[in-house]
């Protein structure tokens, strides 16, 4: 797990730099479903091993962690990514949090208040299903922020993520990029399939009606908050199999670069073995 | 998922009622590893389906949840259970919390303070890796509680769990029961295997030296806190494959009895389909 072996092929290809790739495109990696599923299996093994090492490092006193931020339009597959990618690793090492419309109690606090409460502990992979970016996205689309307020909020978000990075958290921000045509299909599927109907929310159509405004708001977010310490990645998400492979690889590359290490024991293993023999269990 | 189909064969066999079963025994279910692994695969499918329904119910406004409490001596397999059983379901629906020695800050609060912060949300399966029971177990073995204080604490724990139950949380308390011989093997394995060494803690030997006192403290806990609303189960845990199967089945039976239901949509699906056609995406 040496740093030089980590690689950044997928990160380099998916890092946002201007125009987004087509939601159905394959900018890097497997172009066929069967191949992508096989490669996801390989990624699962690497991800599990790296996650265990990160967790062990945390138990040993290390302070590093990873925070995966998932953003995207409704039906873009945030939940599916959690299930299919984070479901590959030990639940002990994953901290999942979903951020919906802030409650009345949450609204009385600074918008980062509820976010801070859900940050990953050392050794964990935190996953934000929506995030602090909703707090600029939604008010902006709804015309509630002046240009000056927007600027201040971008600066706050960048400062917040800088602080996380300095505290040992590697921030990986992923935009799951779907097309409006694919969203239409997925919304229809939610309505016509009884066991999927609970995922449908009539409010999703309001957001869909503001599609261009959301795309513009996202474009501004990517421009203003893609920093060296917390870059944004765009994952084409019209193909679920590609989305899962890509997010898994982004995590693998990120963790491999961290090169988490099993901690040095704070004891003499030989002496403990000898001591172990002496500690019998009284009848 | 009708209630009458739920069954309680495994719960009935493993519910603690006096003497504990032998840690290497098979009180119910598969007696061979290959069979147990195959049956764990079946349980995984049922558990996933039930967990998704519980989660959906929570999204729809339901308040029910499940709390799995895992207790046991060091190396009894609490972490392994989380990995192999909770790893079978969607991470979105699982809330994991480990409780170690309370920090100085935690000690300034009531001992249930830190516990309450980690309770599962509606629709979730919460998992406690150690729990509020450590707060009677450890002080008791260390001789820090008078008989009157112990009685008061048992009453508090029962009242706390009653409150959880009334708020919609089904509490499933599992004691992972290993033998001192098996613990010795596992502690040795942690010392001699470099990539397992981080799991070893010299303090584990102190607890091992107090084995009979811990068994007595557990016996009292089972006697005083096995209630109708929050029973204790003993899972023989010398065989990891049996332990995983048994905990998975306890969860499946518990969830099947809850019979979680996908929520009725709060909208007219036909009308929404029609509306969907009208909400195009402006160019």
Residue whose structure tokens are 């992508």: A36
Q: Provide the residue-wise pLDDT of chain A in tens; the chain has 283 residues.
A: 444 446 999 999 999 999 999 999 999 999 999 999 999 999 999 999 999 999 999 999 999 999 999 999 999 999 999 999 999 999 999 999 999 999 999 999 999 999 999 999 999 999 999 999 999 999 999 999 999 999 999 999 999 999 999 999 999 999 999 999 999 999 999 999 988 999 999 999 999 999 999 999 999 999 999 999 999 999 999 999 999 999 999 999 999 999 999 999 889 999 999 999 888 776 6
Taking CB atoms and an 8 Å cut-off, how many pairs form between chains A and B?
124
- The B residues from 87 to 116 touching A (CB cutoff 8 Å) are 87, 89-92, 94, 96, 98
The pLDDT tens digits for B40-61 are 999 999 999 999 999 999 999 9
- Using the beta-carbon criterion (under 8 Å), do B205 and A83 form an inter-chain contact? no
Instruction: Check CB contact of B184 with chain A, cutoff 8 Å.
Output: yes
Instruction: Check CB contact of A208 with chain B, cutoff 8 Å.
Output: yes
Q: What domains, with CATH codes, occur in chain A?
A: 3-261 (3.40.50.300)
The pLDDT tens digits for B65-76 are 999 999 999 999
Backbone angles phi and psi of A97, in degrees to 5:
-140, 135
Backbone angles phi and psi of B271, in degrees to 5:
-65, -40
Instruction: Check CB contact of A56 with chain B, cutoff 8 Å.
Output: yes
A155: closest CA of chain B, how far (Å) = 31
Of the residues B93, B130, B197, the best mutation for testing chain A's interface (the one with the most A CB atoms within 10 Å of its CB) is B197
3-state secondary structure B87-116: HHCCHHHEEEEECCCCCHHHHCCCCCHHHH
The pLDDT tens digits for B200-239 are 999 999 999 999 999 999 999 999 999 999 999 999 999 9
Can you name the residues that pair with A127 across neighbouring β-strands?
Answer: A68, A96
B17: closest CA of chain A, how far (Å) = 23
Task: Report chain A residues whose CB lies below 8 A from the CB of B99.
Answer: none
Instruction: Please report the pLDDT score of residue B135 as a whole number.
Output: 95
- Using the beta-carbon criterion (under 8 Å), do A197 and B262 form an inter-chain contact? yes
Instruction: Check CB contact of B281 with chain A, cutoff 8 Å.
Output: yes
DSSP H or E run through B171: strand B169-177
Tell me the C-alpha distance between B97 and B126, whole Å. 8
- Using the beta-carbon criterion (under 8 Å), do B94 and A98 form an inter-chain contact? no
Instruction: Please report the pLDDT score of residue A280 as a whole number.
Output: 76
Instruction: Please report the pLDDT score of residue A3 as a whole number.
Output: 44
Instruction: Check CB contact of A271 with chain B, cutoff 8 Å.
Output: no
Within 8 A by CB and 6+ apart from A59, the residues are: A123, A263, B198, B199
- Using the beta-carbon criterion (under 8 Å), do A198 and B265 form an inter-chain contact? yes
Of the residues A56, A116, A198, A265, the best mutation for testing chain B's interface (the one with the most B CB atoms within 10 Å of its CB) is A198
Instruction: Please report the pLDDT score of residue A4 as a whole number.
Output: 44
- Using the beta-carbon criterion (under 8 Å), do A98 and B92 form an inter-chain contact? yes
Task: Report chain A residues whose CB lies below 8 A from the CB of B91.
Answer: 82-83, 86-87, 91, 94, 96, 127
Instruction: Please report the pLDDT score of residue B141 as a whole number.
Output: 95
CA angle, B85 as apex, B82 and B90 as ends, to 5°?
90
Instruction: Check CB contact of B216 with chain A, cutoff 8 Å.
Output: no
- Using the beta-carbon criterion (under 8 Å), do A191 and B273 form an inter-chain contact? yes
Backbone angles phi and psi of A184, in degrees to 5:
-55, -45
Tell me the C-alpha distance between B222 and A66, whole Å. 39
Instruction: Check CB contact of B59 with chain A, cutoff 8 Å.
Output: yes
Instruction: Please report the pLDDT score of residue B56 as a whole number.
Output: 96
Strand order from edge to edge, sheet including B169-177:
B94-98, B125-129, B65-72, B169-177, B232-236
Instruction: Please report the pLDDT score of residue B6 as a whole number.
Output: 67
Task: Report chain B residues whose CB lies below 8 A from the CB of A199.
Answer: 56, 59
- Using the beta-carbon criterion (under 8 Å), do A272 and B191 form an inter-chain contact? yes
Can you name the residues that pair with A206 across neighbouring β-strands?
Answer: none
A143 Rama sector, left if φ>0, alpha if ψ -120 to 50, beta otherwise:
left
Tokens found for residue A145: 């922020």
Instruction: Check CB contact of A200 with chain B, cutoff 8 Å.
Output: yes
The pLDDT tens digits for B231-277 are 999 999 999 999 999 999 999 999 999 999 999 988 999 999 999 98
Cα torsion angle, A112, A115, A117, A122, sign: negative
Task: Report chain A residues whose CB lies below 8 A from the CB of B195.
Answer: 262
Tell me the C-alpha distance between A204 and A209, whole Å. 9
Instruction: Check CB contact of A184 with chain B, cutoff 8 Å.
Output: yes
Is B4's pLDDT higher than 80? no
DSSP H or E run through B134: helix B134-141
- Using the beta-carbon criterion (under 8 Å), do A200 and B91 form an inter-chain contact? no
Tell me the C-alpha distance between B203 and B75, whole Å. 13
Instruction: Check CB contact of A281 with chain B, cutoff 8 Å.
Output: yes
DSSP H or E run through B245: helix B240-258
Closest chain A residue by Cα to residue B274: A188
What's chain B's average pLDDT?
A: 95
Tell me the C-alpha distance between B237 and B218, whole Å. 16
Q: Where are the alpha helices (DSSP H) in A210-283?
A: 211-225, 240-258, 269-278
Tokens found for residue B246: 């048994």
Instruction: Please report the pLDDT score of residue B75 as a whole number.
Output: 97
Is B181's pLDDT higher than 70? yes
- Using the beta-carbon criterion (under 8 Å), do A281 and B127 form an inter-chain contact? no
What's the N-to-C CA distance of chain B in angstroms? 46
Tell me the C-alpha distance between A132 and A221, whole Å. 11
B155: closest CA of chain A, how far (Å) = 31
A184: closest CA of chain B, how far (Å) = 8
A103 DSSP assignment: P
């Amino acid at each position: 797990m040496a740093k030089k072996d980590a690689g950044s092929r997928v990160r380099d290809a998916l890092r946002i730099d201007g125009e987004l790739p087509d939601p159905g495109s394959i900018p890097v990696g497997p172009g066929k479903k069967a191949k992508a599923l096989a490669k996801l299996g390989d990624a699962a093994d690497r991800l599990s091993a790296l996650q265990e090492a990160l967790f062990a490092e945390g138990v040993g006193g290390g302070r590093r962690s990873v925070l995966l931020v998932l953003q995207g339009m409704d039906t873009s597959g945030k939940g599916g990514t959690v299930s299919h990618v984070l479901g590959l690793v030990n639940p002990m090492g994953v901290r999942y949090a979903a951020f919906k419309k802030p409650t009345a109690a949450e609204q009385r606090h600074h918008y980062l208040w509820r976010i801070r409460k859900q940050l990953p502990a050392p050794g964990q992979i935190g996953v934000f299903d929506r995030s602090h970016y909703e707090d600029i996205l939604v008010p902006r689309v709804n015309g509630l922020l002046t240009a000056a307020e927007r600027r201040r909020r971008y600066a706050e978000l960048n400062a917040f993520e800088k602080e996380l990075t300095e505290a040992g958290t590697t921030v990986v921000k992923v935009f799951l990029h779907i097309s409006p045509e694919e969203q239409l299909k997925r919304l229809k599927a939610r309505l016509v399939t009884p066991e999927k109907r609970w995922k449908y929310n009539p409010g999703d159509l309001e957001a869909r009606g503001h599609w261009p405004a959301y795309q513009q708001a996202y474009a501004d977010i990517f421009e203003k908050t893609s920093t060296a310490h917390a870059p944004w990645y765009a994952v084409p998400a019209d193909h679920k199999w590609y989305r899962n492979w890509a997010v898994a690889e982004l995590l693998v590359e990120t963790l491999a670069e961290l090169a988490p290490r099993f901690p040095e024991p704070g004891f003499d293993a030989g002496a403990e073995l000898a001591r172990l023999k002496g500690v019998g269990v009284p009848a």
